[in-house]
Amino acid sequence: MTNVAEAAPVSSKTKPPARSSLRGLLAQTEIDLRLFGMLLALAVILLTFNILSGGKFFQPTNMVTLAVQATGVAIIATGMVLVIVSRNIDLSVGSLVGLIAMTYALLMTDILPHALGMPADFPFRWVIALGIGVGLGALVGALQGFIIAYIGVPSFIVTLGGLLSIRGVVWYLSGGAAVSGLDPNFQLIGGGAQGSIGGTLTWILGAVGCLAIVALLISGRRQRRRYGFSVRPIWAEVLLGVIGCLAALGVAAFANANLWPQGLAIRIAAEQNLGPTPAGGWQIPTGVPFPLILLLGVTLVMSWMATRRRFGRYVYAYGGNPDAAELAGINTRWTILKTYVLMGVLCALAAAIASARLNGATLDVGQSYELYVIAAAVVGGTSFAGGIGTIPGAVLGAFVMQSLAYGLSFMGVNSPGQNVVAGVVLILAVGLDTFNRRRGS
């Protein structure tokens, strides 16, 4: 094709950024500077708490617990990015998490065994419960999305109504009581020593992640070569590959440094006839907990949808200019409705983690989630003006907020104190971002 050949000189005319400065070097790697900055901020926060606590903060148990606690908010935040990018908001996520968590609890303690004749040993009962929860989330999301997109009631109002009324429904469902006693398999969704993938799989996962990063870099480079576009300098490709691999394997090593609690290990070893306890106790790595695997999966799928699918492209286009999206022939209402269905599904996953960790549900599961989720998305760079925000950013935002909360409580700061810090950090993060954008433009 001659036209491609014609296009090639055009691209070669673009000068690579100057190599002299650190900023220039970073630009050549095409790393997202915002994301890079957030990673740095997260590292600084964690390091600070580690120093303040005299090195105790970095114990694997703490890190794993912190990460697991962040998963619920992080999972929903990936969807909140798309909702806010398309100039809407969802205030109902906390109540919806509460509703679905209560549904899981009632399903497994009452409805499944008694009404549907599925006793505790019924195969894949936890999958059935999870499926019903996801369906319920999608349905509530679709209803809210329909009212917002097709009837045109502002999303703030619709989901504020959802926040109030759905929480009320939770009370009616359980008659005001807490419900406990979930399926043992379902409980594994919440993590813990048994709810983790184990040492070997963790290493395999780290290796797969490493290979995936290298494969992505190579295929991306090949793709750009094929069309004659400019490519990153080779040193930058190698650097990205090495850093990516180190990160994947580092996380795996860290997760495997977290060991089974001695008491539990001894009990399980006795059950499975693994022989006498070795000298120095059992040293069984837990590996990555299931909720983190779930978050990893959700982040990958949501990023893929946001950047590689038409749906994501339409969400961002609508956020950037609703009229342009409409005039381009995009079915904008259907697109908006889908963002809320997605939110419902994500709430169902977060509710599974929350109820599994509790082994049941109380009336206030998911309380205030909407605020943490919105904070995570916004700290992660999502703009209320619409059209701007990334899914990895929101996940990092959730980890930043959770690290602060966990670190402060580790240092003995009480919950009101944590809230003060969280609020100030939220304003600071967005203020800094606004300042940077203004200077940049």
Partner 1 sequence: MTVAQRTPLVEMRNVDVAFGGVDAVRHASLDLYAGEVVGLVGGNGAGKSTLMRVLSGAHPADSGEILIDGQPAAIRNPRDAKALNIETIYQTLALADNIDAPGNLFLGRERTTRVGSLDDSSMESETRKVMGRLNPNFTRFRMPVKSLSGGQRQAVAIARAVYFNARILIMDEPTAALGPAETTQVRNLVRQLKDDGIGIFLISHDIHDVFDLSERISVMYHGRIVDTVNKADVTPDDVLGMIILGKKPGEVSEKELAQLELRG
Which region, judged by CB under 8 A, interacts with partner 1, from 97-105, 152-160, 284-292, 303-311? 303-311
Q: Between 114 and 310, name the residue whose CB sits nearer to partner 1.
A: 310
Any bridge partners for residue 157, and if so which? none
Among 91, 295, 388, 404, binds partner 1 (CB under 8 A): 388
Please state the closest distance from residue 319 (CB atom) to partner 1, in A.
7
What are the residues whose beta carbons fall under 8 Å from the beta carbon of 372, sequence distance 6 or more? 73, 398, 401
Asked if 224 interacts with partner 1 (CB under 8 A), we say yes
Asked if 10 interacts with partner 1 (CB under 8 A), we say yes
Please state the closest distance from residue 329 (CB atom) to partner 1, in A.
4
Site residues for partner 1, window 334-363 (CB under 8 A)?
none
Asked if 381 interacts with partner 1 (CB under 8 A), we say no
Helix (H, G, I), strand (E, B) or coil at 389: coil
Asked if 93 contacts 99 with a C-beta cutoff of 8 angstroms, the reply is no
What are the residues whose beta carbons fall under 8 Å from the beta carbon of 64, sequence distance 6 or more? 191, 255, 258, 286, 289
Asked if 23 interacts with partner 1 (CB under 8 A), we say no
Q: How far is CA 245 from the centre of its chain?
A: 21
Among 127, 208, 301, 328, binds partner 1 (CB under 8 A): 328
Site residues for partner 1, window 82-141 (CB under 8 A)?
none
Asked if 149 interacts with partner 1 (CB under 8 A), we say no
Site residues for partner 1, window 159-198 (CB under 8 A)?
none
Asked if 325 interacts with partner 1 (CB under 8 A), we say yes
Nearest by Cα to 371 from 405, 333, 337? 405
Asked if 437 interacts with partner 1 (CB under 8 A), we say no
At residue 48, what is the residue type? T
Asked if 7 interacts with partner 1 (CB under 8 A), we say yes
Among 115, 152, 226, 439, binds partner 1 (CB under 8 A): 226
Among 245, 268, 320, 419, binds partner 1 (CB under 8 A): 320
Rounded to 10°, the helix 199-226/234-257 angle is: 170
Nearest by Cα to 425 from 391, 385, 378, 388? 378
Any bridge partners for residue 413, and if so which? none
Asked if 310 interacts with partner 1 (CB under 8 A), we say yes
By CB atoms closer than 10 A (0-12, 13-18, 19+), residue 368 is exposed
In angstroms, what CA-CA distances link 126 with 42, 104, 135, 153, 441? 35, 9, 14, 37, 51
In angstroms, what CA-CA distances link 400 with 206, 275, 439? 23, 43, 24
Among 123, 152, 276, 329, binds partner 1 (CB under 8 A): 329
Q: Between 6 and 364, name the residue whose CB sits nearer to partner 1.
A: 6
Binding site for partner 1 (CB under 8 A): 3-4, 6-7, 10-11, 13-14, 223-224, 226-229, 304, 307-310, 313-314, 316-321, 323-330, 387-388, 441
